[in-house]
Amino acid sequence: MMTKIEIVKSIMQQHMLDGQLMLPKQTLAKLIYEQNPGVWPTVNAVRNTIRKCTNSFGDQKYGKKHTENMPGKSTIEEGLKKFGLYTKLPVRKDVVLPPGKYLVMSDIHFPEHDPLAIQASLEYGKEKGITGIVLNGDIIDMYMVSRFLQETKRPSIREELIMTRSFFQLLREEFPTIPIWYKFGNHEERMRHYLLSNARAIEDLDGITLEEQLHLKKYDIKVVFRERIKAGKLDILHGHEFQKSIMAPVNPARGAFMRAKSSLLIGHHHQTSSHHENNLKGDEIVCFSTGCHCTLTPEYNPYGYIKQNHGGAIVTVLPNRNFHVENYRIIEGRVY
């Protein structure tokens, strides 16, 4: 006489195709119950026996024996690869700052720089005992390759490059051992955009990129493109990386919060501001925008000082990934 499990396995075999059970389990249970009166008291009792069987036989969802034939995620993946549709986008790797104290400077815009503002930030960084420097974009102006109408009396690209390299030499003389990160802003990107628009055939030649022209390897300065710089739980971006410009209905920091929804420090707007909010989970979110180190009365915007100001930040990264930001202003060459 066959056992209950043997009965179930025998009938299941009659309703399988390519190792797959072709009937719903409830339908199969009713069929077995009707064909074997008196063996099981109820249809649910048959279902229980089917469950025991499918743990070791027949049902590919449960059975180890047949898992190699199971149509899983890899089937779609293999299909996408077969038809040339499986292309993974490159993953941007964040730059993670180790615990320490960092001077963050942005928007120098050589040759539109303000010497007193630069001096104030570097001296303040020394006074604070910084362990690293973050140059957060728009250090060089790249005026002659911008999309705007150029004035002939402005310095040439060559002169801008020489001036910026001199600044890097100064940094290394004053801070010979600490790490320096240089995050490219929208003005640094002007060179690549110009090459792609006007000289694409030579844009990949050795020595032609901005990082090579600025001798960043010589000065041991690490270049960062559109990756995030992570200072603990605080992200650092130049501010142009979002697809559209940050709207600032209150101030740039508020605009940054509306776009990022996480703690963030940006430059780009030449304005010192901050914004703090908590979410429903109680996470504290704080955003900052820093001032600039360029003239506040450039020829193209002679009244920029109405809304813009000089300034930078001292960012302290703690071992537990918490952070502290001193978002300072510079007024007449003094830090406040």
pLDDT (tens digit, 9 = 90+) per residue, 145-163?
888 777 767 889 999 999 9
Tell me: pLDDT of 58 over 60: no
From 266, 248, 252, select the one nearest 325 (Cα to Cα).
266
Euclidean distance between CA atoms 171 and 106, whole angstroms: 14
Give the pLDDT confidence score for residue 301 in this predicted structure.
87
The three-class DSSP label of residue 146 is coil
Token pair of 303, please? 């009244």
Check if the beta carbon of residue 171 is closer than 8 Å to that of residue 219. Answer: yes
Give the pLDDT confidence score for residue 74 in this predicted structure.
61
Read off the pLDDT of residues 272-285 as tens digits, 9 standing for 90 and up. Answer: 999 999 989 999 99
Q: How confident is the model at residue 59 (pLDDT cuts 50, 70, 90)?
A: very low
From 315, 330, 326, select the one nearest 131 (Cα to Cα).
315
Tell me: pLDDT of 22 over 80: no
Task: For the domain covering 95-335, report its CATH number.
Answer: 3.60.21
Give the relative orientation of helices 115-128 and 157-174 as an angle to the nearest 10 degrees: 20
Give the pLDDT confidence score for residue 174 in this predicted structure.
98
Tell me: pLDDT of 119 over 80: yes
Euclidean distance between CA atoms 287 and 272, whole angstroms: 11
Beta-strand ranges (E) seen in the chain are 16-17, 20-21, 95-96, 100-105, 132-136, 180-183, 221-224, 229-231, 234-236, 264-266, 273-278, 284-289, 310-317, 323-331, 334-335
Euclidean distance between CA atoms 316 and 97, whole angstroms: 10
Arithmetic mean of pLDDT, 31-60: 80
Tell me: pLDDT of 64 over 60: no
Give the pLDDT confidence score for residue 199 in this predicted structure.
87
Q: What is the mean pLDDT of the chain?
A: 89
From 125, 112, 183, select the one nearest 330 (Cα to Cα).
125
Q: Which of 56 and 322 is assigned the larger pLDDT?
A: 322
Token pair of 219, please? 């000065």
Read off the pLDDT of residues 216-250 as tens digits, 9 standing for 90 and up. Answer: 999 999 999 999 999 999 999 999 998 766 666 68
Q: Tell me the C-alpha to C-alpha distance, in Å, between residue 129 and each of 100, 102, 223.
A: 10, 9, 23
Euclidean distance between CA atoms 263 and 265, whole angstroms: 7
Check if the beta carbon of residue 126 is closer than 8 Å to that of residue 172. Answer: no
Which 8-state DSSP code applies to residue 66?
G
Give the pLDDT confidence score for residue 70 in this predicted structure.
47
% of the chain with per-residue pLDDT over 90: 58
Residue 101 β-bridge partners: 316
Tell me: pLDDT of 99 over 60: yes
Read off the pLDDT of residues 165-200 as tens digits, 9 standing for 90 and up. Answer: 999 999 999 999 999 999 999 999 999 899 888 888
Q: How confident is the model at residue 20 (pLDDT cuts 50, 70, 90)?
A: confident
Domain ranges of the chain: 4-82, 95-335
Tell me: pLDDT of 57 over 50: no
Query: CB 319: neighbour CB atoms within 10 A?
Result: 8
Most confident of the following: 65-79, 118-132, 240-254: 118-132
Give the pLDDT confidence score for residue 152 in this predicted structure.
66
